[in-house]
């Protein structure tokens, strides 16, 4: 997992509430165990009609939001089933931060494990950020994880809270495997000692 950098990019407004994981990535696409390739199917049933053509008025199909790296969303984002394919699809599309008033717990934790920063903000702040996102590609928002601040295109700053351990993992690019590899020396030493003590095992 890459280290999380200070992000300045286009923010896409998605004010819908209760966007569940089946809306994020429909179950038909859950056959793969690869983290890559799912971005094209992100929000599939909202992005495409039954013939596979883009629905022009869906936000991520609009020219100004095709390269969005930030999503400003409605309440209770990521509810529904616990499928990890949902953050996989979001990350593969290129979105690195999601701002909402609340997230489903499992989805929230899965985001951190896949290099995505979910930010919880009060409704009045999300309203301001939503309006800023509606300005389009000329209005770039900044997400500064290290200092825990979101800055609008016109310079308004809003601080946010994040668990210190999760912050450490994102800033250092550590997923579950990366955390384990931090202790590889101790693991190797234990295995060598165990093999010497119990050579028959």
pLDDT tens digit string along 91-128? 999 999 999 999 999 999 999 999 999 999 999 999 99
Q: How many CB atoms lie within 10 A of CB 163?
A: 10
pLDDT tens per residue, range 75-87: 999 999 888 999 9
What was the pLDDT predicted at 177? Answer: 57
List the one residue out of 176, 157, 158 whose CA is nearest residue 166.
176
53: Cβ–Cβ under 8 A, 6 or more apart, which residues? Answer: none
pLDDT tens per residue, range 17-52: 999 999 999 998 988 777 788 999 999 999 999 999
List the one residue out of 172, 127, 167, 135 whose CA is nearest residue 149.
167
Residue that has been written with the tokens 């990350």 in this structure: 91
What is the set of domains in the chain, with CATH numbers? Answer: 7-197 (3.20.19.10)
Write phi, then psi, for 108 (nearest 5 degrees).
-55, -50
The mean pLDDT value for 55-66 works out to: 96
pLDDT tens per residue, range 149-192: 999 999 999 999 999 999 999 999 987 655 555 545 666 566 65
What was the pLDDT predicted at 41? Answer: 95
């Amino acid at each position: 997992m890459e280290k999380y950098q200070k992000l300045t990019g286009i923010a896409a407004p998605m004010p819908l509430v209760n966007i569940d994981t089946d809306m994020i990535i429909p179950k038909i696409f859950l056959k793969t165990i690869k983290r890559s390739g799912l971005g094209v199917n992100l929000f599939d049933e909202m992005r495409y009609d039954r013939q596979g053509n883009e629905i022009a008025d869906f936000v991520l199909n609009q020219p100004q939001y095709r390269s969005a790296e930030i999503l400003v969303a409605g309440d209770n984002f990521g509810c529904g089933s616990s499928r990890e394919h949902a953050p996989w699809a979001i990350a593969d599309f290129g979105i690195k931060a999601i701002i909402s008033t609340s997230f489903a717990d499992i989805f929230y934790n899965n985001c951190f494990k896949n290099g995505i920063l979910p930010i919880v903000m009060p409704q009045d702040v999300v309203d301001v950020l939503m309006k800023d996102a509606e300005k389009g590609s000329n209005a770039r928002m900044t997400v500064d994880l290290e200092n825990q601040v979101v800055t609008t295109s016109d310079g308004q700053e809003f601080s946010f809270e994040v668990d210190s351990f999760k912050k450490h993992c994102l800033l250092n690019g550590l997923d579950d495997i990366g955390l384990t590899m931090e202790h590889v020396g101790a693991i190797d030493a234990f295995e060598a000692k165990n093999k010497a003590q119990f050579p028959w095992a």
